[in-house]
Amino acid sequence: MACLCEQIAGTDIDLAPVCIGNLWIFKDLDPSEVEALSREAMRRRSVRGQSLFLQGDSADEMFLIKGGRIKLSKIFEDGAEITLDIRKAGDFVGENMFSEEGQYPVSAHCLEDTLTCGFSRKQFEELVLRHPKVGLQIIKNLSERISWLTSRVGSLAVTNIEDRLYRVLSIVAKEHGLAGPRGIVIQFPLTHEDLAFLTGAHRVSVTRTMKALKESGKIRHEDRRLILPSPGVA
């Protein structure tokens, strides 16, 4: 019998092989408990452009992205918006539920039709009381996330816009790309506005820099998808 995620997704959404019951936060649980978690988890199907949560909403849920991609963005007091991350199937969203602040500091919007699988704060707190080791796994994962964000900040510190944009594209390709005969293919469209958010540059500068990267052979643009050529590929 197909799992509930497969029944909800149908043939429209490609699902990650990871199940919510097997995430790092549930490490060392008995197989029967993992099965119960998978059975009791809340599934939600969202369409492209729909929001999972908005900046300032109460942080009461966390999700495994079972299928699709999610853009995390933040709006500042002056109205400026910046894209902080793009998360893919198999990634986790809503870590802020673990903090005491009580609100999501970012918004999460679906870049594609998306299926999520997760738990409410109340469900998770009950789980931690039954399995204290879960808390230790959370600390480890958040430490790794801080290290990763530090590397992203380092990318934004590069002053040369061409180097900065190429570094950001390389990170996106590594995390969301698919290796092919001509290089690594980024599997979803990225607008110049998205790239402007990710690099902290003006959209006009991104357009000009993208052209320079194409002319230099550092990137290709085929079938509305970006390709970072493998070394030695002409």
Q: CATH code at 208?
A: 1.10.10.10
Looking at the fold, whether 64 and 145 belong to one and the same domain comes out as yes
Q: Is the predicted pLDDT of residue 52 greater than 90, yes or no?
A: yes
The residue type at 86? I
Q: What's the average model confidence in pLDDT over 121-137?
A: 75
- Identify whether 234 is part of a domain: no
Domain count of the fold of the chain: 2
Instruction: Indicate the residue among 112, 138, 156 that finishes a domain.
Output: 156
Q: Is the predicted pLDDT of residue 71 greater than 80, yes or no?
A: yes
Looking at the fold, whether 214 and 134 belong to one and the same domain comes out as no
Q: What's the average model confidence in pLDDT over 72-88?
A: 84
Q: Is the predicted pLDDT of residue 192 greater than 90, yes or no?
A: no
Looking at the fold, whether 137 and 196 belong to one and the same domain comes out as no
Looking at the fold, whether 134 and 83 belong to one and the same domain comes out as yes
Looking at the fold, whether 166 and 118 belong to one and the same domain comes out as no
- Identify whether 100 is part of a domain: yes
> 21: closest CA among 147, 131, 145?
131
Q: Check residue 108 and give its pLDDT.
A: 94
| Interval 196-215: pLDDT, tens | 767 777 778 888 888 999 89
- Which CATH number fits the domain that encloses residue 113? 2.60.120.10
Q: Is the predicted pLDDT of residue 110 greater than 90, yes or no?
A: yes
What's the start-to-end Cα distance of the chain, in Å? 47
pTM above 0.95, yes or no: no
Q: Which domain holds residue 198?
A: 161-229
Looking at the fold, whether 128 and 78 belong to one and the same domain comes out as yes
Instruction: Indicate the residue among 156, 171, 198 that finishes a domain.
Output: 156
- Identify whether 183 is part of a domain: yes
Q: Check residue 1 and give its pLDDT.
A: 42
Q: What's the average model confidence in pLDDT over 174-203?
A: 77
Looking at the fold, whether 33 and 135 belong to one and the same domain comes out as yes
Looking at the fold, whether 38 and 106 belong to one and the same domain comes out as yes
Looking at the fold, whether 104 and 207 belong to one and the same domain comes out as no
Mean pLDDT estimate for the chain? 80
What is the distance between the alpha carbons of residues 215 and 217, in angstroms, rounded to a whole number? Answer: 5
Angle value at C-alpha 178, between 175 and 179, nearest 5 degrees: 115
Which one is predicted more confidently, 30 or 74? 74
Q: Check residue 151 and give its pLDDT.
A: 59
Q: Check residue 30 and give its pLDDT.
A: 73
Instruction: Indicate the residue among 139, 156, 173 that finishes a domain.
Output: 156
Angle value at C-alpha 3, between 138 and 6, nearest 5 degrees: 95
The segment with the largest mean pLDDT, out of 5-19, 20-34, 78-92, 108-122, is: 108-122
Looking at the fold, whether 70 and 181 belong to one and the same domain comes out as no
Looking at the fold, whether 130 and 33 belong to one and the same domain comes out as yes
Angle value at C-alpha 147, between 106 and 121, nearest 5 degrees: 45
Q: Is the predicted pLDDT of residue 97 greater than 70, yes or no?
A: yes
Give, in order, the Cα–Cα distances in Å from 63 to each of 34, 151, 182, 200, 206.
Answer: 16, 24, 34, 28, 32
